[in-house]
Structure 1
């Protein structure tokens, strides 16, 4: 029995009590929360429903708890219910009900842990969106790992998600990039505000080889060639590196499209129609201070050029026009100032920022080796890149390490730790359980041990303390996934997997799954094989949400 199943049983018991008392059923919540108590001596699960309802219906909480407990005591799978304190319900399951979870997990397979929590929501999730002027830096890599994990979590909880990369191919940074490439190709010094690094020389050589006329063409024409060809090469490289990292975007949106299709004009007219646009000093402004921004924002400068903020407005409107209910944007630590203006912009369009827009800010990442922070990239010549991180610790460790911590906290990734084949390396610790459960299954097959089904499975035999602890941990998984998706915190899945790995190790050390030597295969062996395979299922599902492999051998 999962916590979700038990919650339904508790709610059904409350409905019965309400019916007997002639109380208004609409007072009951749609769902009930059951949680594992901190102290196992208090039972397998605890519910506070009686405390939540007592005041509303004018019944003493312990009295209401007693009546709910009486109904629960009649439900199949409930061993006992105790009333504690002012009205807590402490529930114990019988062994058979607890053990049945093992078969339920295995039979659900990849679907175990999935819910319809966000069914019907259309979400546009934008992350990374690094300018195509250089390789993805290590801060962007954090968003690649966290954003991709979040997209998987939201899909696992029923949302319709489109992942998107905003391809910024316009503006002053691209001009600087083009000048840097042209200078490198001509053997000239890098412009003072230009980009440096070996990759600039590599791209410049490629452009010059494909477009030799660019070296002798007039400067404006030459710069345009280096801009267009150089950006295309750089962006192909960015996409390739992300794909190698396991991140595939549904949409690559080109900023230039907003300008070419007149979407900035469309956004301006929409904002003007809402009554929030004004003109001053020859420029066109948006009165974002009406919605909490610290100052009004320029949309179009006095020289007629659009601002970056105008592009942000047009892009947001484009996403909403494509039918997305919620626009989620992941930004780096240097973008805190964007939150207020973007929320105000959403409100200026007539939207509810709390419902339609969500901005997540990620903090910095440091890579440590031999106890010292690494700063320089071999190829980029400046900040560390995705390739640098993967070269040091590999894709699985990198994705797990980046997703393991709350994204609003800075993190240090210790190369020595994340390449160690020991239990203190978190990804190794979890993947080792994936490999061990697969090994147990292979060895079981070799000695003729199978799980069996129907009458061959006796869940009541899974009554050892360590078996029950492992079952409880497996039962927690759906709630962990739902909470991680709701709070936008994939790190909850990683931390859960580490706890689950610990529970499995304790089970493995105390409860032998395979028969020894010529020992006869028993129903206990079969039941434990179900539990072993259920653990493998959940470990693989959880790692899959983080974009990390669940190896069968290590």
Structure 2
């Protein structure tokens, strides 16, 4: 069960409680579910009871109890507890883990780059505007892509005359006075022009350098962004994607088709967790207008992919016969490559199949 699955389960419980008259409160558009912090209880936590307590005119723990009774026993959930002032803490059902992991890999492979995209922002228009500065323009365009992954409509406008070379960074301007929620994008300036960055770093490295740091941090834009080695996170992410694609091609040549089977569950917890977190990362990055969260998440996926790749090679070696284990590993590798490509797309960075 993914955070998105848990969110849907919680919202369904809220609707049930409202329909049954046990809870008098508006049903929220979404329920935020996050991994439990170190030392906390369970695998995931949700604060929706605290959000509903005011409108329902009930103590948060009482609201949490109403929801717990309607969530307990749902497929994939082993235990639900009420902690603190009214948090719902979920412990997943370990026995259902293999089936859930298989379902997630199938979902990623079926949806492709659409994995993690939702419609919670459908019909909502966001108007982003930024100063005539290259980093602000690039961040605004990436935030627009993130909001679109949530179903939102976005216009991006520049408060000054656009830099003529921004188009090479796929920065587009939109109507300056479109209706909708307005937000100013003002990260720490890059201290460089689009022309200077493109000529020295090229498009992909320039975008990564501008987007990887948090907006309130300085953006390091040195030549280390061009290093073809593990010390360069951009290279590591793109290489992980290229390696995943190479495994799929080689699997096809050997007649090994990726098909994740619960009976051949792959022991790669870090990679499974990173793939499951992808929808939540997109949602949080869109909500906080923080594409740097996507970049850091891609680094985590790449690191986990290489750990899995080295520990459990996806393809048979030598005279080894293809097995269900190889099919599951190959399917997991393909899913990792898909998530990496989708994340790079949100950042506007290419994901070449060969490096």
TM-score by length of 1: 0.56
Q: C-alpha displacement at 1:18, in angstroms?
A: 7.0
Residue of structure 1 equivalent to 2:2: 2
CA distance in 2, matches of 1:365, 1:167: 17
Q: Tell me, yes or no, if structure 1 residue 490 matches structure 2 residue 291.
A: yes
Per-residue displacement from partner, 1:448-481 (whole Å, max 9, x unpaired)? 11124xxxx42453352x2x33222212222222
Residue of structure 1 equivalent to 2:345: 544
- Decide whether aligned partners of structure 1 residues 419 and 437 sit closer, same or farther in structure 2, where only a CA change above 3 A counts: same
Aligned ranges 1:254-269 → 2 under 5 Å:
none
Per-residue displacement from partner, 1:63-109 (whole Å, max 9, x unpaired)? 954x755654532233x115364464232142212331111112111
Q: Tell me, yes or no, if structure 1 residue 358 matches structure 2 residue 183.
A: yes
Q: Tell me, yes or no, if structure 1 residue 517 matches structure 2 residue 324.
A: no
Q: C-alpha displacement at 1:37, in angstroms?
A: 1.9
RMSD of aligned residue pairs (Cα, Å):
3.2
Per-residue displacement from partner, 1:155-183 (whole Å, max 9, x unpaired)? 22223233345664xxxxxxxxxxxxxxx
Mapped contact 2:64–2:88 kept (Cα < 8 A): no
Mapped contact 1:45–1:90 kept (Cα < 8 A): yes
- Structure with higher Rg: it is 1
Q: C-alpha displacement at 1:405, in angstroms?
A: 1.6
Unaligned stretches of 5+ residues in structure 1: 130-139, 169-234, 252-318, 327-354, 367-383
Bigger mean CA offset, 424-433 vs 7-16: 7-16
Mapped contact 2:157–2:173 kept (Cα < 8 A): yes
CA distance in 1, matches of 2:38, 2:160: 52
Q: Structure 1 residue aligned with 2:155, among 159, 162, 166?
A: 162
Aligned ranges 1:245-284 → 2 under 5 Å:
245-249=169-173
Residue of structure 2 equivalent to 1:145: 138
Mapped contact 1:110–1:537 kept (Cα < 8 A): yes
Mapped contact 1:15–1:25 kept (Cα < 8 A): no
Mapped contact 2:14–2:67 kept (Cα < 8 A): yes
Q: C-alpha displacement at 1:127, in angstroms?
A: 4.1
CA distance in 1, matches of 2:156, 2:49: 42
Bigger mean CA offset, 46-55 vs 508-517: 46-55
Per-residue displacement from partner, 1:396-416 (whole Å, max 9, x unpaired)? 11101101122233333222x
Residue of structure 2 equivalent to 1:305: none
- Decide whether aligned partners of structure 1 residues 14 and 462 sit closer, same or farther in structure 2, where only a CA change above 3 A counts: farther
- Decide whether aligned partners of structure 1 residues 406 and 97 sit closer, same or farther in structure 2, where only a CA change above 3 A counts: same
Residue of structure 2 equivalent to 1:83: 81
Mapped contact 2:137–2:158 kept (Cα < 8 A): no
CA distance in 1, matches of 2:155, 2:30: 29
Q: C-alpha displacement at 1:506, in angstroms?
A: 2.1
Aligned ranges 1:401-440 → 2 under 5 Å:
401-415=209-223, 417-440=224-247
Mapped contact 1:114–1:156 kept (Cα < 8 A): yes
Mapped contact 1:69–1:81 kept (Cα < 8 A): no
Secondary structure at the residue paired with 1:5? Answer: helix
Mapped contact 1:48–1:89 kept (Cα < 8 A): no
- Decide whether aligned partners of structure 1 residues 156 and 58 sit closer, same or farther in structure 2, where only a CA change above 3 A counts: closer
Mapped contact 2:49–2:61 kept (Cα < 8 A): yes
Mapped contact 2:112–2:338 kept (Cα < 8 A): yes
Unaligned stretches of 5+ residues in structure 2: none
Q: Tell me, yes or no, if structure 1 residue 399 matches structure 2 residue 253.
A: no
Mapped contact 2:34–2:45 kept (Cα < 8 A): yes
TM-score by length of 2: 0.84
Per-residue displacement from partner, 1:256-282 (whole Å, max 9, x unpaired)? xxxxxxxxxxxxxxxxxxxxxxxxxxx
Mapped contact 2:257–2:327 kept (Cα < 8 A): yes
Residue of structure 2 equivalent to 1:278: none
Mapped contact 1:430–1:501 kept (Cα < 8 A): yes
Aligned ranges 1:428-467 → 2 under 5 Å:
428-452=235-259, 457-459=260-262, 461-462=264-265, 464=267, 466=268
